[in-house]
Structure 1
Amino acid sequence: MYGEGMCAHYLGLSDEEVDRLVERLSGERPERPPEEPESRPAETAAPQYEQRELDYPQSSQSSERPRGERQLIDVYPKAVSPVIVPTFDTAVGVTALAPGALERADLAWGYGTQWNPQPIFNTRIESADKPIWRASMEHDRCVIACRRFYESSGTETRVSERTGRVIKQQYLFAIPDMPIMFIGGIRRGDEYSMVTTRANAAMAPVHPRMPLILHPTELTTWLGPAYMRLADRSAVPLVACKAG
């Protein structure tokens, strides 16, 4: 339906959840202290993909749900969804995410163009200097918060239980110990696009590309002038399982 792009579906967060996440990431609310003292990994070092140090927001309806169950919001291209955007120029960046450095913006997933009736919802990081992406990649990078994302296999198929037709096998991707996944994005006005890079070993059997997944310690790098050093995502420990 949406051409040859990848990742046309992810499980997002509600507006309220993103608001609370922004507060925690920018230091507007204290983080839950760790049980034992530990040093935070430096941005220049390979991060350990674990996010237990952050007090992640639960669903706004969590008090009415069984413990551990979160609100699931399916997001597809053209949908308007909450995205974390900086209040500063990403061509300049900041040394730390202070209060007020981030905010929530409700944006439509996909860049509209005159030559394509469907939105362009993925952006290759290697194509940062192309005219359609250049200004956004330089000045308006953003962050997509989600719980997990889906991708269809390029070779594997299955029979749909609903229609009886042969369809592509879809996989769900997540990261152990990461209740919320951060993905690099770009913004143009009221639109956003998900940035992708070359697939790592976990993603490659399903698709040659993968979302630009970020650890919380890498957010200031992504939102600053040295963002290209994050193009290699080989260390991201994705886990895949069949969906549907």
Structure 2
Amino acid sequence: MCGRMAITLPHDAMAQVFDAAPANDLPNTPDYNVCPTQAVHVVTAGEGQRRLRPMRWGFVPHWYDKLSGGPLLINARSETIADKPAFRAAVRERRCLIVASGFYEWHRVPGAVPQPWYVTRSDGSPMAMAGIWQDWSKAEAPLATCAVVTCGANAAMAPIHDRLPVILSPGDWPLWLGEAGHGAAPLMRAVADVALTFTKVSTQVNSNRAVGEDLIAPVE
């Protein structure tokens, strides 16, 4: 599961890390509380040049007659993505990297307020999450939309939540983006060795209106 994220890198730094040409309308950074339906930073490949682009976080199938025409699809399960009518064409033809500094996950215990944790790569590098995307053409202009691909939690994540975004290492980016030919399917399980850091943070991030760097500050 991935239901909230933070992005702190400046646009030029993201463009350099991913060797991508940045669009002119990228979301402002830093943003410590990126929520579903907001624009996120996405890397796509094509015509010999990667692009760093904004996309709506919430994949919209072509048959939705409005943005709220069905469930909000912010995640796509790797185990079923190839079979789901909403996702199967996109995972073959329109894969992307969804860029974040980290994401939030909530540990839920019956009878208690869900406890948020902020999850980052232990090496401090940006998190490139496997994603899928497609344009939804029933808006006034085509709207690029995306979803994060998730898999079962690794051993480090399991005490907090049973799902984890598929986090790709730099050597895997070309294959996922389709630059290195076919055979990307195994990458959707390749997260066991990614070293992650888990920071217990304030429950103020439970509100989608919360803002500011304090959201990622550790608490006891």
The offset of 1:233, in angstroms, is 1.1
Q: 1:131–1:27: structure 2 CA closer, same or farther, 3 Å change rule?
A: closer
The offset of 1:82, in angstroms, is 2.3
Residues 70-106 of structure 1: per-residue CA shift (max 9 Å, x gap): 8344211000122111125xxxxxxxxxxx5210221
| Distance in 2 of aligned mates of 1:19 and 1:135 | 31
- 2:211 corresponds in structure 1 to none
- 1:58 corresponds in structure 2 to none
The offset of 1:25, in angstroms, is 2.9
Q: 1:238–1:146: structure 2 CA closer, same or farther, 3 Å change rule?
A: same
- 2:96 corresponds in structure 1 to 142
- 1:10 corresponds in structure 2 to 5
What amino acid is aligned across from residue 192 of structure 2 in structure 1? S
Choose the corresponding residue for 1:125, options 71, 78, 88: 78
Ranges in structure 1 where 5+ consecutive residues have no aligned partner: 1-5, 29-60, 62-69, 89-99, 158-165
Asked whether the 8 Å contact 1:146–1:182 carries over to 2, the reply is yes
- 1:22 corresponds in structure 2 to 15
What amino acid is aligned across from residue 186 of structure 2 in structure 1? R
- 1:110 corresponds in structure 2 to 58
| Distance in 1 of aligned mates of 2:194 and 2:44 | 23
| Distance in 2 of aligned mates of 1:13 and 1:133 | 29
TM-score by length of 1: 0.65
Q: 1:242–1:211: structure 2 CA closer, same or farther, 3 Å change rule?
A: same
> Among the aligned pairs, what percent are the same residue?
28
| Distance in 2 of aligned mates of 1:19 and 1:127 | 35
Is 1:206 the counterpart of 2:160? The answer is yes
Is 1:84 the counterpart of 2:43? The answer is yes
- Return 75-84 or 174-183, whichever deviates more: 174-183
The offset of 1:200, in angstroms, is 0.3
What amino acid is aligned across from residue 178 of structure 1 in structure 2? G
Count of residues in Structure 1 that have an aligned counterpart in Structure 2: 178
Report SS of the residue matched to 1:132.
coil
| Distance in 1 of aligned mates of 2:117 and 2:184 | 28
| Distance in 2 of aligned mates of 1:216 and 1:156 | 39
How large is the Cα RMSD of the aligned pairs? 2.5
Is 1:196 the counterpart of 2:143? The answer is no
Q: 1:176–1:226: structure 2 CA closer, same or farther, 3 Å change rule?
A: same
The offset of 1:179, in angstroms, is 3.1
- 1:236 corresponds in structure 2 to 194
The offset of 1:181, in angstroms, is 1.1
Q: 1:27–1:107: structure 2 CA closer, same or farther, 3 Å change rule?
A: closer
